[in-house]
Structures are given as structure tokens and as C-alpha cells.
Structure 1
Amino acid sequence: MLAGCGAILAAAGTTWIQAQTPSTAPSQILATDLVNIPGQEALFFMADWRPNQQLPWHAHPEGHEFVYVIQGAVTFEIDGVGSRTVKTGEMLYVRPDVTHRAQNAHDGSS
């Protein structure tokens, strides 16, 4: 099993509901305006998380979030939808203004 998890997260206008942040915070790799949607931009981040590392409950009021997992697995809990684990090569979409959180699905055991 993999000890870490790599994911590309794309979102716009993030609002954190809790003051927690992951110890290895996602780093922004690109920001671009959405030409056909005035006032919104897409933000692209790369994240490399330790076992069980989490992002707190948050929402992107004006942004669409697309997640692509490049290695490992991430479990998302989405308000009103439930829980879903996204594995290597899979994608997830979260609508704007939907509260959600994420956690590296690997617990650190072998």
C-alpha cells in the first residue's frame, strides 16, 4: 500500500469553515479566469498528503471543484451526498457552495 496520496484539486473561491489546515498544504500551480463565467476563476492545486491527513469542512462559493487522484486514494464526505473514496486514476466533481471535506484514505499501516 501507498503511504502517501497525490491529488490535483481544482477549485475557485475557497471558504474554510474550520481553521484547520493540512500539515502538507496543497500548493497552487495555476490560476486562470473562466472566460464564459464572469467573476469566477479556476484554481489548480497539487497536494501530497501523509496517511490520514485531512482537509477540514469547507466550500467553494463561486467555484467548481474537480479532483483527479494521481496516486493513492482520497475519501470525500460531501454534505447532502455522503462519502465517496476516489482512487488512482479516478475523478470527482463537487458543485459550487457545497460543503465537503477530504482525507487521505491510507491509514499508515502496511
Structure 2
Amino acid sequence: MKASSTTVIALVTGIALGALCAHTLQAQPKQIERKQVLKTDLMGLGGKEGLILTATIPVGEHGGKHYHPGHELTYVIEGAGVLMIDGRLPMELKAGDAVYLPPSAIHDAKSTGSVPLKVVAFWIAEKGKPYTVPVP
């Protein structure tokens, strides 16, 4: 009987740990997919460079609060979302929308549609400076 009790305890412990691990894995935020398309010096603009990238934010996730030292122009390719810029009302975004963010505008975007939010972003910034600065 003692071996049977040990087996039951081990089985129950294993099931509990398995359930806990599965819940933890499901609770992890989905990764935002970013892909650099182009990075180049901008001739005639003295020390400026341009960057184009695509980003895909999974449904229900957000990009995280941040700002860009340079100018940002973003075009929504697919999906829907909300853009939250400090000091402004939230802005609903959908495929076909475009937005301009001036340097240092603290913002975050959340994917709110039924498919991931896909955007293409264009930045003009000082060469050698970071394109994105996280905000706690």
C-alpha cells in the first residue's frame, strides 16, 4: 500500500506541475515580429539616416511604451489597433491608416483586431542614435 500512496503522490504532483507549467507558457506574451527592410544614409540631410521596418503585433498584445529620437511615419498594412500617445486621446487605427509621430512622442500601440496588427514604419533620425528608447 505504501508504494501505491507514493505513486499517487508522485502522479498528483506531476499533474499539478504540468498544469502550472502549461499555464505559465500560455501566459507568456507573444513576440512582436520586427524586420528591417532598409537602413541608409540620407544624402543632403547632414548626418541623418533613414530606416524602414515592418512590425507585426499579435492580437491582444502591445508594443510597449517607448519613443523615437527621430521622426516616425507609420502605415497600417493589416489589422486594427489603438495608438496611445502621451497627452492625447487614444487613436483607433485600421488597415490603410497612416500616422506621423514627432521626435520624442511617448507612445504605445495595441493590436485590437481579429488578426495581428501589421505596420510598416519609416524613421528619419540622427545617425548613430538609437531608433527606439523604452519608457518604464
The alignment's TM-score, normalised by the length of structure 2, stands at 0.56
Structure 2 Cα separation of the partners of residues 72 and 91 of structure 1: 13
Decide which structure has the larger Cα Rg and report it. 2
1:41 to 40, 49, 53: 49
Output one character per residue of 1:52-75: Cα deviation in whole Å (capped at 9) or x when no partner: 1211111111x1111111111121
Between the aligned partners of 1:71 and 1:51, the Cα distance in structure 2 is 12
Conserved? CA contact 2:30–2:58, under 8 Å: no
Partners of 1:80 and 1:37 in 2: CA distance: 30
Partners of 2:41 and 2:90 lie apart in 1 by: 30
Q: Which has the higher helix share?
A: 2
| Structure 2 unaligned residues grouped into runs of 5+ | 1-28, 116-136
Q: Which residue of 1 aligns with 2:84?
A: 77
Which structure carries more relative contact order (alpha carbon 8 Å, separation 6+)? 1
Higher strand share: 1
Supply the distance in 2 between the matched residues of 1:40 and 1:31 (Cα, whole angstroms): 11
Number of residue pairs the alignment of both structures matches: 87
Q: Amino acid of the residue matched to residue 57 of structure 1?
A: K
Q: How does 1:95-110 map to 2 (within 5 A)?
A: 95-106=102-113
Q: Counterpart of 2:6?
A: none
Gapped regions of structure 1 (runs ≥ 5): 1-20
Paired residue for 2:35, among 27, 47, 56? 27
Structural RMSD (CA)? 2.1
Q: 1:105 to 1:88 in 2, by over 3 A?
A: same
What is the CA–CA distance in structure 1 between the aligned matches of 2:35 and 2:75, rounded to whole Å? Answer: 15
Q: Percent identity?
A: 33
Match of 1:88 in 2: 95
Superposition deviation, residue 48 in structure 1: 2.1
The 8 Å contact of residues 22 and 54 in structure 1, kept in 2 or not, is answered as no
